[in-house]
Chains A and B, each alone.
Chain A
Amino acid sequence: MERMPVSEFQILLALLAGESHGAAIRDEVAERTAGDVVLGPGTLYTSIKRLLGRGWIDEVVDASADVRRVYRLTAPGKRAAAAEAERLAQDLEHARRHRLVGRLRAT
């Protein structure tokens, strides 16, 4: 299975908290990653277009007549994000076994 591009994964993560529009998604990603992942306008909307195409997110029809489109995570999208997270977790586990990163602190 092909790895998911970072931009797409981050958009899915941003939508976990609930439906949101483009600018808000982008702000959330920038904030959560402390500025590591900044989605430019081009990257943001081409990614959204692809995610829509795959049915991983869909557009919410908003009655409030706001021109901004609002997006929502779909069940397949959630599964795809989970699969990607799982793969990342495996990588992380591998890295940890080779002492590349510290173990999670017990909470």
Chain B
Amino acid sequence: MFARWLFRCALLAQPPDVRARFGAEMQRIFADDVALARRRGRGPALYATCAALLDIVRAGLEERIRGTNARRHRSRGAGMDHVRQDLRYAIRSLGRRPGFALMAVLTLALGIGATTAIFSVVNGVILRSLPYPESDRLVRVWETPVRVGPVKPGEGSNSALNFKDWKAGATTFESMAIYTRARPTLTGLGEPEVLLAARVSPELFRVFRAEPVMGRAFTVEEDVPTGPLTVVVSHAFWQQRLGGRPDVLGTALELNSAQYEIIGVAPAGFDFPYGTTLWIAVRNNGENCGRTCYYVNTVGRIRDGVTPEQARTELRGIADRLAAEFPSNSPARTAALLPLHETVVGDVRRALLVLLGAVGLVLLIACANVANLLIARGATRSDEMAVRAALGAGRRRIFSQLMTESVLLAVTGGSAGVALAAAGVQALKALSPGQIPRLDEVGLDATAVLFALAISLLTALLFGLAPAFQLIRTPLAGTLRQDANRTLGSRRGIGRAALLAAEVALSLVLLVGAGLLLRSFASMQRIDTGYTTDEIAHISLSLPGVSYATPDDAVRFFDTLEERLEVLPGIDEVALVVGAPLSDFAYWTAFTRDDLPPPAPGDGLSASLRIVDEDFLPTMGIALVEGRPFVATDRHAAMRVALINQELARYAFGDVDPIGKQITMGLNAGYLEDQPRTVVGIVEDVRTSSLTGEVDPELYIPFAQAGSSFATVLMRPRGTAQSALADARGAVHALDANLPIRDPGTMRQLLDRHTARPRFYLQLLALFAGLAIALAAVGLYGVVAYLVAQRSREIGVRIALGASTADVMRLVVQQGFGPAVLGAVIGLCAAFAGGRVMSSLLFDVKATDPLTFAGTTAILLGIAFIACVVPAGRATRISPASALKAER
């Protein structure tokens, strides 16, 4: 769509006869080119589009020059002479009015710079393919619930056992691999350190075509639970931590107190999954975990020529066959598949495109402003043009002269814009919340510069064509006479009024967008999570299996730790949780109601699982609605109990009173779930997984009955959170000096992380809206001030004839404010119609929120009014005598 529009614009560069005769065929070739290149990826498609557009513009301009020469001079080289002459003349003419030139270049630099900066981000994050060979064939696959319902998580993961069958059965795939995240502790190489690692199946490096540059990848012998312990290190880790020595192969790294032999070094830059420094074999032990245990992530490379759709269909077939072969009680699942690129950037695509659209509007406003400046200047130049025409310059020649000036302005503005964009991209990277994927890959590259050049030329056409046509269409003979009819009612005036209205309309669209985001952000800040977020500090601990072999060991460790923390002066309350609110980590488990007959295969229930101790609810301030809370005697040997939230009560029990009912859970967090659990209480619904989504059904079980070797310790500090964290660190290391402390922080920080992205979008859109309003206000002011200057004689006469100050004000303000009101009406309609693109970015605010629409319109019209009144005030002070003298 957009490409076709660009094509039409570029075609304008061609002489009309070529356009009429060959336009359709050019378009067909253009479309073929783009379609062909698109098959090779987005980067090549973009390149092909730009190359073809430039070719059309260049060939068109050449043809025009040739045509002019042939007709006028029939001599060689005159075309180039003309271009040189025009350029020289343009530089001189712009130099004569440095204020005008500076204003125009600055406006264009702002518009082009901002657009190029955002384009760089969009290009780097969304358009450019992932940095792996033939990355368009990489896909993520996982098991997904057949029916949408409360069964949400597990999105993105699947069972390791099912993976084996998928891999064996899928013919549309070249290779397939699994990976999970790991955070082993590295010791023996300086300070103990937690590293970001991945457990992967041997095929991972083949899937990404990233065979180790030194040594080898894993073999199937290493992929079994009894296999040798081996590790592949990242290129950066090899360079920085191992000194880049070639003899590291065969030496050992101590991870979680075990020796891992280094067998390979990954190629430079390869860090999938994102940020990985070490790869260890996953030692696929799916057997003990089962077919409904979704904990591995799967990535694959589909065969050349196979579409993702075909691969998805095949995997679905296999998954459905497996579901029939191994019936289970948990909710039925089937296969899902998405291109890897999609899963990496899917979340931010809409927001970035909205931002690109917004910044495009700013550029349009900048164009309108420059066009306005040019028209204003054109009025003072019509005499000059008339003289040139009288001396024998043809209209075509004058037109080309005017366009040369526009192109010169645009290219100068564009160059400044590129510099601005370079700074802008750095600022964006600094400002971003670290949650925009691939942002570190973004930079101002050749594509962005090409883009800046292309939009510079396009803007030259946009802002230069109308004024140029207007100038050469003015009857030349009449121009030398005094033109008394200088109001917005004249043809030139209508053009300017239309530009003003367009500017105001575009600004209002942006302002409404920013206003909606602001309202949405404000309601996000007001969200009641249902629990305390202030002042709670937290650390996470993961006990290595080597020193803590049984669930009893884990329970004993965390009991002791809790006792020691509670007596510290800096800490008031301590609680344990697995799956802390807003922490991105949560178990999801299938369960059955024991008072009902076993469900049909695939019809089971599932819920989010939180493992908490008896202090969790009071520390977090979560209320118990019914029944009893957990107590200190809910130990492993006692009756197994569970709490549920209101959502789970609704979802699984409906009208039945859940208290006293028994359920059986499918997930073993430490101890085996070999006995049913009795529901003893109902907890209020709180927002634990996300701030803005639906509340999940949640199941709580006592920590001492789960025996998890991983837990988050929550602490309400007496003093500052920092001192509580320092205290906790000391207490942990007194118990186990080698235990690394993970992710220390506060609940407030976790909460902020969830609002960081919306805040980033809001900041950017607010910046663009501010820029738009400033440009529009300058434009309005300029037009009205210009009018006052042009009509000072008329105004002087009116004052002399007894017009009051109010009359003069009304006369002048009408000229600027009228178009502004018209623009506001158009802008409101456009914002109303375009609101839909915003709706997925909004929370708790409708895209047609009347308050936002009314408020922003009032603000914009207020600013427009001031921009008109200031020069109008000056008009009332015109002294009739001097005005009459000044003109001529």
Residues of A that sit less than 8 Å from B by CB: 2, 22-23, 26, 40-46, 48-50, 67-69
Contacts and interface: CB of A to CB of B under 8 A. Distances in A.
Interface stretch (B49-57, B530-538, B726-734, B801-809): B49-57
Given A2-B76, A46-B62, A46-B63, A41 B18 contact: no
Given A22-B25, A23-B29, A49-B22, A43 B59 contact: yes
Interface in B8-50: 10, 14, 17-18, 21-22, 24-30, 32-33
Interface string B709-729: 000000000000000000000
B60 interface: yes
The 4 A-B pairs at the shortest CB distance, nearest first, are namely A40-B55, A42-B59, A42-B56, A45-B22
Given A23-B28, A42-B60, A67-B24, 20 more contacts: A22-B25, A26-B29, A40-B51, A40-B54, A40-B59, A41-B30, A41-B52, A41-B56, A42-B10, A42-B14, A42-B52, A42-B57, A42-B59, A43-B58, A45-B22, A46-B60, A48-B22, A49-B18, A49-B63, A69-B25
Most central of A2, A42, A44 by chain B CB within 10 Å: A42
Contacts of B29: 22-23, 26, 41, 44
Contacts of B27: 41
Contacts of A2: 76
A17 to B, nearest CB: 20
Contacts of B17: 49
Contacts of A44: 26, 29
Contacts of A22: 22, 25, 29
Contacts of A26: 29
Contacts, number: 61
A49 B21 CA distance: 9
Contacts of B21: 49
Interface in B740-796: none
Interface of B: 10, 14, 17-18, 21-22, 24-30, 32-33, 51-52, 54-60, 62-63, 66, 76
A43 B62 CA distance: 9
B51 A46 contact: no
Given A46-B18, A46-B62, A41 B26 contact: yes
A105 to B, nearest CB: 36
B587 to A, nearest CB: 56
A42 to B, nearest CB: 3
B640 to A, nearest CB: 72
B59 A46 contact: yes
Given A2-B76, A49-B22, A49-B63, A42 B28 contact: no
Contacts of B66: 50
A64 B516 CA distance: 58
A25 B491 CA distance: 47
Nearest to B17: A49
Most central of A22, A49, A50, A69 by chain B CB within 10 Å: A49
A42 B55 contact: yes
Most central of A2, A40, A49 by chain B CB within 10 Å: A40
14 contacts: A26-B29, A41-B29, A41-B52, A42-B14, A42-B56, A42-B57, A43-B59, A44-B26, A45-B59, A46-B14, A46-B60, A50-B66, A67-B24, A69-B25
Contacts of B32: 23
Given A2-B76, A23-B32, A49-B21, A43 B55 contact: yes
Nearest to B24: A67
Nearest to A47: B59
A94 B175 CA distance: 57
A60 B29 CA distance: 20
A68 B27 CA distance: 12
